[in-house]
Amino acid sequence: MNYLERMREKAQERIAAGSATILAFESSCDETAAAVVRDGRTVLSDCVLSQIDQHALYGGVVPEIASRMHVSALDPLTDQALSQAGCTFSEIDAVAVTCGPGLVGALLTGVSYAKALAYALDLPLVPVNHIEGHVSANYLAHPELEPPFCCLVASGGHSHIVLVERYGQYRLLGQTLDDAAGEAFDKVARVLSIPYPGGPLLDKLAEEGDDSRYQFPHPHTPGRYDFSFSGLKTAVINQAHMLRQKGEEIQARDFAASFRRAVVDALVEKSVLAAKEAGAASLACAGGVAANALLRRELVRRGEAAGLKVFLPPRNLCTDNAAMIGSAAFYRLMAGELADLSLNALPSIRMF
Q: For 181-231, how does the pLDDT look when each residue is reduced to its tens digit (9 = 90+)?
A: 999 999 999 999 999 899 999 999 999 999 999 999 887 888 899 999 999
Average pLDDT, the chain: 96
Go through 240-257 and write b for each residue having 16 or more CB atoms within 10 A of its CB, e for each that does not.
beeeeeeeeebebbbbbb
Percentage of residues of the chain with pLDDT beyond 90: 93
Residue 293 in contact with residue 203, Cβ under 8 Å? yes
Determine the residue type at 350.
Answer: R
* Entry pTM: 0.96
pLDDT computed for residue 7 by the predictor: 95
Alpha carbon distance 192, 77 (integer Å): 36
Contacts of 49 (CB under 8 A, 6+ apart): 31, 32, 33, 69, 73, 77
Least confident range of 48-62, 255-269, 329-343: 48-62
pLDDT mean over 109-124: 98
Q: Give the confidence band of 156 by pLDDT, cuts at 50, 70, 90.
A: confident
Contacts of 288 (CB under 8 A, 6+ apart): 154, 155, 156, 182, 199, 318, 319, 320
pLDDT computed for residue 220 by the predictor: 80
Residue 27 in contact with residue 70, Cβ under 8 Å? yes
14-67 pLDDT, tens digit per residue, is 999 999 999 999 999 999 999 999 999 999 999 999 998 899 888 889 999 999
Contacts of 351 (CB under 8 A, 6+ apart): 129, 131, 132, 162, 170
pLDDT over threshold 80, residue 1 = no
Alpha carbon distance 125, 271 (integer Å): 34
pLDDT mean over 138-159: 95
Q: Give the confidence band of 8 by pLDDT, cuts at 50, 70, 90.
A: very high
Contacts of 238 (CB under 8 A, 6+ apart): none
Cis previous bond, 197, omega within 30: yes
Q: What are residue 94's DSSP bridge partners?
A: 22
